[in-house]
A and B are shown apart, each in its own frame.
Chain A
Amino acid sequence: MKQALSLAVLLLLAVGLASALRGPSVGAEANRTALFDDQKVNFGRRYTSRAREETGAPNVVASVVVTYRGLDTLGEVAVLFIAATGLATLLHTGRQRVSGTAPEGASLIVFTGCRFIFPLILLFGAYIFVHGHLTPGGGFQGGAIVASGFLLVYLGCRDREPSRRRLNALESLSGLAFVVIGLIGLAAGGSFLLDFLPKGSLYALFSAGIIPLVYVFIGFKVGSELGGILGDLSGARR
């Protein structure tokens, strides 16, 4: 019954979406353009044609995320922070510790391999977020890679487990640094997250103003935040 009802609703939705894609079938012939046809808005073209001169970064997505839409990125980081806080609250309040179920340690091969690979994963994550303005990647992607390194630690070699207090401190400090960079822009030029550093030469590592700086802090924040989420979910000791 429930299944049939749901299928009927979804079928209705599918037909509606299909007709929306095809465009309105009433009205004058000239107005009958499809909703999403090949005619793209020129908004993106403005960024792709001028972002390199305006921000000094070859990666247009990075300049959109950090420079043009920096405030939205700050909001996104705040959403991630709220989710991590909510998760920690849900998992740690009013909860009895299950006693006597210490997980069995991993075998020697897994343990040694994990300890060997973990620093390399951290290095790769750092490489991704330091080069965010030049290559595909950036703070969020690099942070996710760093968090995958933490996941390996939680699965394979618990003795290398990062201290939760240090993770929380790192996360708070890098979030604060993001806001401070924005406030420096406010003090220097009158707008929040203004690009107050010199653009530098194109394709150089130290170029593109505040983009690499902000991406490094975002990388630290996302990495420690997702690492903390993984630790909470895997029942790590606090």
Chain B
Amino acid sequence: MSFVADYLHYTGCFGLVLIGLYIVLVKSNLIKIVIGINLIDTGVNLFLVSVGYIQMGTAPIFSEAQAAGREMVDPVPQALVLTAIVIGVSVAALALSVAVRLYEHYGTLDLSRVRELKW
């Protein structure tokens, strides 16, 4: 189990991605699928931030902790994730609006009961 212990942060974020993928693949309720997409999103964001983490690093803001000599973590993935969170919100909103229209048209959110869409 030393592998899991060494890469605990990566295990966690890829675990989130895999749980999200499982939900997207298996569940047939549209709202649950949107939740799964959001879980994938969160896992990827967590992964990007943890790639930029430095042991015992402080936030990339010039402050007292930085003046005391602690190194700052990588700011580039954080800026990237800032972008990705907003994009994730807009993707979720768009997916939910599709779900609203689908519910109005078919009267159900269960994809296995929507006749034109089956797998």
Find out whether the CB atom of A58 lies under 8 angstroms from the CB atom of B63.
Answer: yes
Q: Closest residue of chain A to B61, judged by CB?
A: A59
Nearest-neighbour CB distance to chain A for B76, whole angstroms, equals 5
Residues of A within 8 A of B93 (CB): 83-84, 87, 229, 233
9 A–B contacts from the bound complex (CB under 8 Å): A40-B52, A43-B74, A44-B77, A69-B79, A84-B93, A90-B97, A95-B104, A144-B89, A232-B97
- 8 Å CB contact of B75 from A60, A95, A140: A60
Question: Can you add 18 more A-B contacts, CB < 8 Å, to A10-B22, A38-B55, A44-B74?
Answer: A2-B25, A36-B51, A40-B74, A43-B74, A44-B60, A45-B74, A48-B72, A59-B60, A60-B72, A61-B82, A72-B83, A84-B90, A86-B97, A90-B94, A138-B82, A140-B85, A202-B62, A233-B97
Residues of B within 8 A of A233 (CB): 93, 96-97, 100
Q: Given A36-B51, A84-B90, A86-B94, do A6 and B25 touch, yes or no (CB 8 Å)?
A: yes
Asked if A200 CB lies within 8 Å of chain B CBs, one says no
User: What's the Cα separation between A222 and B87 when bound, in Å?
Assistant: 11
Residues of B within 8 A of A43 (CB): 74, 76
Chain A positions 30 through 74: 1 when the CB is less than 8 Å from some CB of chain B, otherwise 0: 000000101011011101100110000011110011000100110
Asked if A169 CB lies within 8 Å of chain B CBs, one says no
Find out whether the CB atom of A3 lies under 8 angstroms from the CB atom of B26.
Answer: yes
Asked if A117 CB lies within 8 Å of chain B CBs, one says no
User: What's the Cα separation between A83 and B87 when bound, in Å?
Assistant: 9
Interface of B is mostly: helix
Q: Closest residue of chain A to B79, judged by CB?
A: A64
Find out whether the CB atom of A91 lies under 8 angstroms from the CB atom of B82.
Answer: no
Find out whether the CB atom of B26 lies under 8 angstroms from the CB atom of A6.
Answer: yes
Asked if B98 CB lies within 8 Å of chain A CBs, one says yes
Find out whether the CB atom of A44 lies under 8 angstroms from the CB atom of B76.
Answer: yes
Asked if A13 CB lies within 8 Å of chain B CBs, one says yes
User: What's the Cα separation between A45 and B14 when bound, in Å?
Assistant: 26
User: What's the Cα separation between A144 and B82 when bound, in Å?
Assistant: 12
